[in-house]
Amino acid sequence: MKDIILRTENLCVNYGKKDILKNIDASFEKNKITALIGPSGCGKSTFLKSLNKTVEEYGGKISGNICINGSDMLSMPLQKIRNTIGMVFQTPVVFPFSIYKNMTYAPIYYGEKNKERLDEIVVSNLKKSGLYDEVKENLNMQASKLSGGQQQRLVIARCLTVDPEIILLDEPCSALDIKNTAHIEKMLLELKSEYTIIIVTHNLAQAKRIADNVIFMEEGTIVETGTPDEIFNHPVDSRTQEYIMYMKN
């Protein structure tokens, strides 16, 4: 049986009069990577942002249900939602502080004062992001001096410092070169033993390489869900077939 950590039922999101997501029923397996794919404007980012309610900060209104571990997520305190479901955007936003301070910002905010414990949080999470060896001599360097790929890994590592269960990533590699993309993909494959990962990507080859499950969306609805092999090699719906063909050429 599949171990489902997050489920949406009849999820609808609208921005004012614009209905963007229409009755989305989706489920996400624990400790798996699920890739959201689909044409530009179909609502992938809106869907991702609804999964930890950030969409409301962009003027989106949510209706329907979202359950995490069987409990109603939408009625949970916002802080708990954000700590349980972290989010990483396309362009890494490092805080204008040192690498160390980026990594301790949230733990200190939530009351951690013990220096040894803070050091441990910094080291263990930088290790998880594969960044530790690259920055261990320079933890007091301004984070903005890191390369784009390193900044993206730092942002992912920072998101882990509050111990989330689920990580949402919106096209985290689209501004990165092949080498940095490979770094992030390797990291995500390692992270999935501890976290559940939901990633929006335009890069179908990337979805093939890392995803366990793929959701194909069009015009605010889910057209088809399956394994990468099912979606990319044996799509059932003609809309999926057309999209895959289009993206191949």
Ligand X SMILES: Nc1ncnc2c1ncn2[C@@H]1O[C@H](COP(=O)(O)OP(=O)(O)OP(=O)(O)O)[C@@H](O)[C@H]1O
**Nearest CA-CA partner of 197 in 211, 208, 186:** 211
Give the CA angle between residues 150, 153, 157 to the nearest 5°: 135
Q: Which residues bind ligand X (CB under 6 A)?
A: 15, 18, 20, 40-46, 58-59
Q: Which one of ligand X, Mg ion, none is in contact with 42 (Cβ closer than 5 to 8 A by kind)?
A: ligand X
Q: What is the 3-state secondary structure (H, E, C) of 145-173?
A: HCCHHHHHHHHHHHHHCCCCCEEEEECCC
Q: Which one of Mg ion, ligand X, none is in contact with 228 (Cβ closer than 5 to 8 A by kind)?
A: none
Nearer to ligand X, 124 or 203 (CB): 203
Minimum separation from the CB atom of position 21 to Mg ion (A): 13
Minimum separation from the CB atom of position 172 to ligand X (A): 13
Nearer to ligand X, 46 or 125 (CB): 46
Minimum separation from the CB atom of position 46 to Mg ion (A): 8
Nearer to ligand X, 19 or 163 (CB): 19
Q: Which one of Mg ion, ligand X, none is in contact with 231 (Cβ closer than 5 to 8 A by kind)?
A: none
Q: Residue 202 has what DSSP assignment?
A: S
> Three-class SS of residue 101?
helix
Q: Return the residue nearest Mg ion (CB atom).
A: 45
Q: Which residues bind Mg ion (CB under 5 A)?
A: 45
Minimum separation from the CB atom of position 4 to ligand X (A): 23
Q: What is the 3-state secondary structure (H, E, C) of 124-135?
A: HHHHHCCCHHHH
Exposed/middle/buried for residue 115 (C-beta within 10 Å: 0-12, 13-18, 19+): exposed
Retrieve residue 135's tokens.
């920055």
Q: Which one of ligand X, Mg ion, none is in contact with 59 (Cβ closer than 5 to 8 A by kind)?
A: ligand X
Residues 6+ apart with CB under 8 A from 231: 37, 214, 216, 224, 225, 240, 244
Nearer to ligand X, 13 or 139 (CB): 13
Minimum separation from the CB atom of position 41 to ligand X (A): 4
Nearer to ligand X, 126 or 198 (CB): 198
